[in-house]
Amino acid sequence: MNNIHRFLLSISLAGCALGATAQSLVLLHTNDTHSHIDAEGGVGGVLQRKAIVDSIRRAEKNVLLIDAGDIVQGSLYYKLFGGAVEYPLMKLLGYDIQILGNHEFDNGVDELSKYYTKDGAVKLSSNYTFSDPALNSVFRPWVIKTIGGKKVGFLGLNLDPDGIIGAANSKGVEYHDILSSANATAAMLRSKGCSTVVAVTHIGYTDDTGRDLMTDPKLATLSRGIDIIIGGHSHTVVTPGGNLPCVVNNADGKPVLIVQTGRYGANLGYIKLDLSKPASQAEARMIPVAGIDSARYDKQVMQFLAPYRQAVDSINSRRIALNAADMMNSKKYAESVQLTNLACDVAALYADHVLDSIASPQMPAHVDLALMNSGGIRLPFPKGEITEGQMLSAFPFTNRMEIVELTGRDLAALLQQAATQGGQGLSGDALVSLSPSGEVQGILIAGEPIVRDRKYYVATLDYLADGGDYLEEFKKGRVLWSDDKDFCAPMMQYIVNMGKAGIPVNPDPRPRFITGE
C-alpha cells in the first residue's frame, strides 16, 4: 500500500470512527496547475486529483477546495482550446474559492470575462478592481464561511501587473498595494467576527526579479490579522517538514502558516483546522497526486475530457524529430540552459534569415544576439522523440519575434537586469561574466567587448521588448521589425528540419551567463 492510499484510508477510518467535528474545517488547495490536465509519468492530472478530493469530502464534514491561480497556460489543452477545458473543470471538481494568476490574462481581459462568471467558485481579489463591468461584478474582495458557528474569512491578493502581464492583456485592471489591501481586508474580516483569516495569494514565495517585490514570507512578516497564506506563482513546495520556513511571525508577533504546492498539480495541499483552537495549531501536509486506481476516476470528468483528449493525443502522436539529451524547463536559466540556449540560437538564426530576405539599407545586415526568457518555455524535452504537440505546448504563448535597436549602454544595463534575475537566455554570440554576487563584470558580443556608444540589434519577443519579465531596459530600444506569426512557428520549423535531415537535436549545454570566482 503506497503513502497516498495509507493517507486516504486513515482519514476515512477517522471519519467513520470519530465523526468529523462540527468545528473542524479542511482546506484543500492547488496552485499553478498550468493546464496539466492529464497525469504525466503517473503524477498529477485532474482525474487523480478529483478522486483524492472526493475521498476527503466523504470523510470530512466541512471541506473547502481552493485554487491560488494560474490554472491555464502550459499544455496543448490551452494552446488548442483557450480555456474551454480548464475553466469548466474547476466547476466539475467543485472548487469553492478561486483567485487569478498572471497567466489568466494571457488571452486578454475579454477572453477572461467570457470564462469568469458568477457560478462555480467564489472569485476573490482584494487588490484588483476592474473597469470591465462583467469582471467587476464577478470578483469579490473577501468572503466569510461560517463553520459550526465560527466565521472564517478569506481574501485574495494578486501581483502588480506591471512588468509581468502585458499592458494590452490587463487593460482596465487597477492594481492596489498588496500589503495595504491585506491589512485593511483582514482588519475588516476581524471586525465582522472572523476567528480565522486566510489569504489566498498569487505573489510567490520567492522573488527572483531583483525588484524586491512582495512575497508570501514578507507579507506574513509585515501584515496583521492573517493566520494562513495559501500561495502560488513561484512554483515552490512549501509545507511543514519541508526545506523552507512555513511559519513566520507577523507584525504582532503571531505565527502565520504559509503553504504552496509547487506546480502542475503534482500535489494537493491539505490543512485541517480545529476552529475551537488557534489557527497556529492547524495540521498541514502535502498529498502527492499519484497512485490512484483508474477505477476511481470520475465518469463525468472522463466524459467531458474525451473529445478534447482525442484532439490532444492526435497531435501528440506526430513525431517530428529526436532529442539527444534531457532538456529541462524552469523559470531559472541555470536550471534550463540547454532548452533556453536552443530557443535563443533559433531566434538569432531566424532573425538573420528575415534580415536577409528584407535586404534594406534601413535595416542591419544581421542581429548581434538574441535574448529570450527561460520562463517562456513551458515543458521539458525528455531525451527521445519530439512531437508536434510537445513543441506547441513548450512554446504556447502568442509572442512574436521583434528586432530591437539598443545602444551598448542600454544593452549592458539590460544584461545586468537579466543577471540580477539569475540570467535569461542568450544566443551563442553573447557571453556575460558575473561576479559571485551576480554583478556583470564583462560582456562579449561576437567575441568583442561591448561598446557603450555603438548600436546593437537584438532579436527578442514582443512581450520582452515591452518590458515583460521586469526587463524594463528593453523599453529604451527602438523596434525595427515585428513578425506576423508566433515564435512557435519558426521554432517548430527548425525542429522539423532537423528531423527531416535525420539530425538529433542537441543544443549547447554551456551557460552564457558565467559566474567567475
CB 377 within 8 A of CB 435: no
The pLDDT of residue 516 is 77
Question: For residue 424, what are the CA distances in angstroms to 81, 204, 247?
Answer: 30, 19, 32
The pLDDT of residue 359 is 84
Q: What pLDDT digit, counting tens, does each position of 159-175 carry? A: 999 999 999 999 999 99
Q: Which residues lie below 8 Å from residue 99, measured CB to CB, with a gap of 6+?
A: 67, 68, 69, 123, 124, 125, 156, 157, 158, 200, 201, 202
**What does 205-246 look like in DSSP terms, one character per residue?**
SS--SSS----HHHHHHH-SS--EEE--SS--EE-TTSSS--
The pLDDT of residue 117 is 85
User: Does the pTM exceed 0.85?
Assistant: yes
**What does 392-435 look like in DSSP terms, one character per residue?**
HHHS-S--EEEEEEEEHHHHHHHHHHHHHTT--EE-TTEEEEE-
Q: What pLDDT digit, counting tens, does each position of 86-133 carry? A: 999 999 999 999 999 999 999 999 999 999 988 899 999 999 999 989
Q: What are phi and psi of 194, to 5 degrees?
A: -75, 125
The pLDDT of residue 331 is 85
pLDDT under 70: residue ranges of the chain: 1-21, 517
Report how far residue 325's alpha carbon sits from residue 358's, in angstroms, rounded to the nearest whole number: 36
Domains and CATH numbers, the chain: 3-7+38-308 (3.60.21.10), 320-515 (3.90.780.10)
